[in-house]
Structure 1
Amino acid sequence: MRFPDLNGVLDAGSRLLEPNVRIGVTGLRRAGKTVFVTTLVDNLLKAGRLPFLDVVASGRFQASRLRPQPDPDVPRFDVEGHLAALTGPDPHWPEPTRGIGQLRLALRYRPGSALKRAVQPVSTLNLDIVDYPGEWLLDLPLLRQSFAEWSALTLNLAGQPPRDALSQSWRGWLATIDPAAPAEEEAARRGAALYTDYLHACRRADTLLSLIQPGRFVEPGDMKDAPLLTFCPLPGEARGRGSLGRGSLWALMDARYEAYKTNVVRRFFTDHFARLDRQIVLIDVLGALNAGPSGMADMKRALELSLEPFRHGSSGWLDWLLGTKIDKVLFAATKADHIAAHQHAHLRALLDRLVGDARSAIRFEGAAVETMAIAALKCTESVVTEHEGRQLRCVRGVPVGRDRPTVLFPGEIPEDADAFPPGRDKPYNFLPFRPPDDLGRDPRGLPHIRVDQALQFLLGDYLE
């Protein structure tokens, strides 16, 4: 007879008394992941701006504190440094996420029911927050694609506007090589360098191209110059195992692609993604509107691909003891402070349309899904002005590149959630804003829009 592992039983018991919840902060680039995590932590530590988090609103929340890293091999999220950037004498946006970061907060609260309080008057929830580059999220679909499949899809995408102009040098090089020729390291390095330049051009593009693979080519972390990053898509068929077989450039690129999947993507998925309990996906919808129809379509494609490999589904008690699944997913359109407050419902409607297919698939698997329009850091105020006898709802803040507050009419998102209705193919022009100058003077925590509602959806049941 096989007896249960004693350490496992003890670990499960400790989780009953002091449970952990692991939230993944994911999303594509420019969505504001770093600022979101910083605001979330700052407000949980100060609890001054969380009126829609039930445990705070009911007076049951006692305090929270930072605790040592749960995973000693994962870098700590530099919340102090990011707060200093936002609240210092010269407020500025912190550096974006370049690698994985993690933080643990212990939340102390009184349970909501008399029965729970009789068993344990004060409870503690350990909240683990995992933040990582959006580009790494986009590596996950590679787990289901062969080198031939990935090459065909990537080459097809690179030949379409606006990517065709950005990929000219790399595609020009491809036209000069023979994938069946004997493998040469110099050719592999040249192809990888040109392909990496193309990915960086996509990243810089005004059209906000989101689908950038592999993610480590633009955010290598500690893998810079590693042989694992010296491959690129090649023209050819799966026949590569025959006429393009052993010893060919195709075979070399294929082998490195598979090694990348095994040693980078699969390992990262196992160590981090597969351990998530809850997930928030931050999306810069306004940035996609600024980028135009191609930027919006690219973002939608990237989101659908990146969410496929996640394990979504309701967690029963056996899953909770032996291995978790993501049972709540929040899609959040960020930077809602860049538009007037009455436009937030339209922004959310557009987000609903953007993630509709992914949301339906996740709900089918049994997970709870919600969408919101949020601002991790509120930089503007909604104001009403009169222009040519017409009242306009505007925003007032300091745009990036300026030094004084300005009242702006940012434009409006269509009510029918069609971002580019017939007759409109031009991008929008929603401006970015600087952090306010007085952030460090308010002891209540960083100002935000609906971060407390996001927390209620993600954590409310744990804090009952």
Structure 2
Amino acid sequence: MRFPDLTGVFDVGTLLETNVRLGVTGLRRAGKTVFVTALVDNLLKAGRLPFLDVVSSGRFQASRLRPQPDPDVPRFDVEGHLAALAGPEPRWPDTTKGIGQLRVSIRYQPGSALLRTVQPVATLNLDIVDYPGEWLLDLPLLRLSFAEWSGLTLDLAQQAPRDGLSALWRHWLADIDPTAPAEETAARQGAALYTDYLHACRRADTLLSLIQPGRFVEPGDMKDAPLLTFCPLSGGLGGRGSLWELMENRYEAYKTNVVRRFFTDHFARLDRQIVLIDVLGALNAGPYGMADMKRALELSLEPFRHGASGWFDWLFGSKIDRVLFAATKADHIAAHQHAHLRGLLDQLVGNARSAIRFDGAAVETMAIAAVKCTESVTTEHEGRQLRCVRGTPVGRDRPTVLFPGEIPDNADAFPPGREHPYNFLPFRPPADLGRDPRGLPHIRLDQALQFLLGDYLE
């Protein structure tokens, strides 16, 4: 049982009102916006949550949207995203371009008879923050100097498949003297070429995940700001007035004014965390995409404060005491493959999971689908029984039965000589999503909620 929030007035009226801040984190294409939308829709309707104990035990009363706690943060447009998913022509919501926040208040009866005598109804205020996945990759910059970041970034840019994507920027680097007097024209040219390289990584078929700084490709309200006019440099350190000093100063200002502020205002206040991971996308991308995603995940999770919570969290800041790693889009494969997908996820996050458990936090892994777009079916092909999925692939206009392929049992199991051996197709939202009053269909969203919030709802 979590301790109630004691930062407000301590009286009977607020004793059983608890606040929890859930961090929905993950790299791009993992489906954070769809996850938040489906989570909110299902909490408001509560018709598809049989494995959430507060619902199955009959103690759930109702949920409603409430004013968010941070008035300076834009509101997450859950209504607009639901309209896109459940409208007459269903489509996936637009990708997140900036930060958004939402509060859902859950009213329920406490499980303890003693607590029910004090107050028969309790409230859990769930605060959720959505943001572009690229911003998560800025967090590792907090521990790197400009020289360290430049060296690591250049080393990575020289390796396949990034070497071809970064050729123009590296050619510019070869002709630039970082110790020469600073010129704004040179700084802007270098930043533009480096930004073009990052966009090329973002578009690459190999699903490159490690893209820094994140605001270069998703600037939000900082578009065209001088603070984004820098790039890594090679060569020796420059003195006062040099191009190196100019770039270094802007890098440090970016860390202070953007990264550290974003971390302090949002991530440092998290109580629980779910990390969404597009494992199927990494398989499609091949070994480079898989390795790059693993590296990006491990780096992005290092700055978070994980560990068991205690009495003094209100004084020193909260810790994240439960972390769920979730492989998304589980509906894109047949149901019998979900265990294999989870096993692959276990390998992908093995190092990060061990580090978080060592810090004292509880960790779980799952294969989920925030919005279920397919049905598992069995068909016969050349005398064999194949377990397939039936849904409408993106780019088609009618349901199709497809054999999506088998999930490998090892993250390194890529057939030799085949750069992209897997092709797990994306699917469109079903045409009837808006007709069911029980909430958006899903796979294990209720089990994810039970792990993340179940103890708060006891």
- Could you state the TM-score of these two structures normalised by the residue count of structure 2? 0.96
CA 1:313–1:259 in structure 2 vs 1: closer, same or farther (change >3 Å)?
Answer: same
The 1:256/1:416 distance shift into structure 2, 3 A limit, reads: closer
Give SS of 1:411's match: coil
User: Which residue among 242, 245, 268 is the counterpart of 2:239?
Assistant: 245
How does 1:34-183 map onto structure 2 within 5 Å?
A: 34-183=33-182
Counterpart Cα distance in 1 of 2:72 and 2:246: 31
SS at match of 2:124: strand
Report how far residue 390 of structure 1 moved.
0.5
Given candidates 271, 278, 301, the residue that maps to 2:265 is: 271
SS of the residue corresponding to residue 93 of structure 1 reads coil
CA distance in 1, matches of 2:424, 2:217: 26
- Contact 2:17–2:125 (Cα < 8 Å) also in 1: yes
- Is 2:438 the counterpart of 1:444? yes
Letter in 2 for 1:252: L
Cα deviation, residue 9, structure 1: 5.6
8 Å contact from structure 2 (residues 321, 361) kept in 1: yes
Query: Does the alignment pair 1:420 with 2:419?
Result: no
Contact kept? 1:413, 1:419, Cα under 8 Å: no
State the Cα distance separating 1:419 from its structure 2 match. Answer: 3.8
Q: Find the counterpart in structure 2 of residue 435 from structure 1.
A: 429
Task: Give 1:245 deviation, angstroms.
Answer: 1.1
> Residue 461 of structure 1 aligns with which residue?
455
The one-letter code of the counterpart of 1:304 is E
Partner of 2:256: 262
Q: Deviations over 1:177-232 (max 9, x none)?
A: 11111000000000000100110111011110000000000110111111110000
Q: Secondary structure at the match of 1:233?
A: coil
Native 8 Å contact 1:349 1:417 kept in 2: no
* CA deviation after TM superposition for structure 1 residue 417, in Å: 5.4
Question: 2:360 maps to which residue?
Answer: 366
1:133, CA displacement in angstroms?
1.0
Q: Which runs of 5+ in 1 are unaligned?
A: 1-7
Deviation, 1:120, is: 1.4
1:311 aligns with 2:310: no
What are the equivalent positions in structure 2 for 1:290-369 lying under 5 Å apart? 290-320=284-314, 322-369=316-363
Runs (4+) off by over 4 Å = 11-15, 421-425
Query: Structure 1 residues 9 and 216 mapped into 2: Cα distance closer, same or farther (>3 Å)?
Result: closer
SS in 2 for 1:19: strand
Q: Distance in 2 between matches of 1:426 and 1:272?
A: 37
CA distance in 1, matches of 2:352, 2:47: 34
Residue 390 (1) aligns with residue 384 (2): yes
Q: Structure 1 pair 279/115, CA: closer, same or farther in 2 (3 Å)?
A: same
Correspondence for 1:27 = 26
Per-residue deviation at 1:368?
Answer: 0.5
Aligned partners of 2:25, 2:357: CA distance in 1, in Å? 19
8 Å CA contact 1:67, 1:106 repeated in 2: yes
Q: Measure the CA separation in 2 of the matches of 1:137 and 1:417.
A: 23
- Conservation of the 8 A alpha-carbon contact between 1:289 and 1:419: no
CA distance in 2 between partners of 1:412 and 1:177 (Å):
49
Unaligned ranges ≥5, structure 2: 1-5
Deviation of 1:175 after TM superposition, in Å, equals 1.2
What is residue 5 of structure 1 aligned with on the other side?
A: none
Is residue 2:281 matched to residue 1:282?
A: no
Specify the code of the residue in structure 1 equivalent to 2:354.
Answer: S
2:186 corresponds to: 187
Listed one character per residue, the Cα deviations across residues 256-275 of structure 1 (whole Å, up to 9, x for unaligned) are 00000000000111111000
| Mapped partners of 1:254, 1:139: distance in 2 | 16
More deviation, 416-425/401-410: 416-425
Q: Note the aligned Cα RMSD (angstroms).
A: 1.4
What's the secondary structure of 2:25's corresponding residue?
strand
Structure 1 position 351, deviation (Å):
0.4
CA distance in 2, matches of 1:343, 1:455: 22
Equivalent residue for 1:378, pick from 347, 372, 375: 372
Aligned-partner Cα distance in 1 for 2:14–2:166 = 51
2:114 counterpart SS class = helix
| TM-aligned CA deviation for residue 61 of structure 1 | 0.2
Change (3 A) 1:147 1:442: same
Q: CA deviation at 1:323?
A: 2.1
3-state SS of paired residue (2:323): strand
Q: Contact 2:415 / 2:421 at 8 angstroms: preserved in 1?
A: no
Aligned residues: 452
State the secondary structure of the residue aligned to 2:76.
coil
Deviation (angstroms), 1:420:
2.3
* Distance in 2 between residues matched to 1:392 and 1:62, nearest whole Å: 43
Letter in 2 for 1:434: R
CA contact (8 A) 2:282 2:293 kept: yes
1:255 partner letter: N
Deviation at 1:418, TM superposition (A): 4.5
Provide, for residues 323-353 of structure 1, a one-character-per-residue CA deviation record: whole Å limited to 9, x for no partner.
2111111100000000000000000000000
Percent identity for Structure 1 against Structure 2:
86
CA gap 1:370/1:15 in 2 versus in 1, 3 angstroms: farther
Instruction: Tell me if the contact between 1:363 and 1:369 (Cα under 8 Å) persists in the aligned partners.
Output: yes
Distance 1:255 1:422 in 2: 46
Q: Which amino acid aligns with 1:78?
A: D
Q: One-letter code of the match for 2:321?
A: D
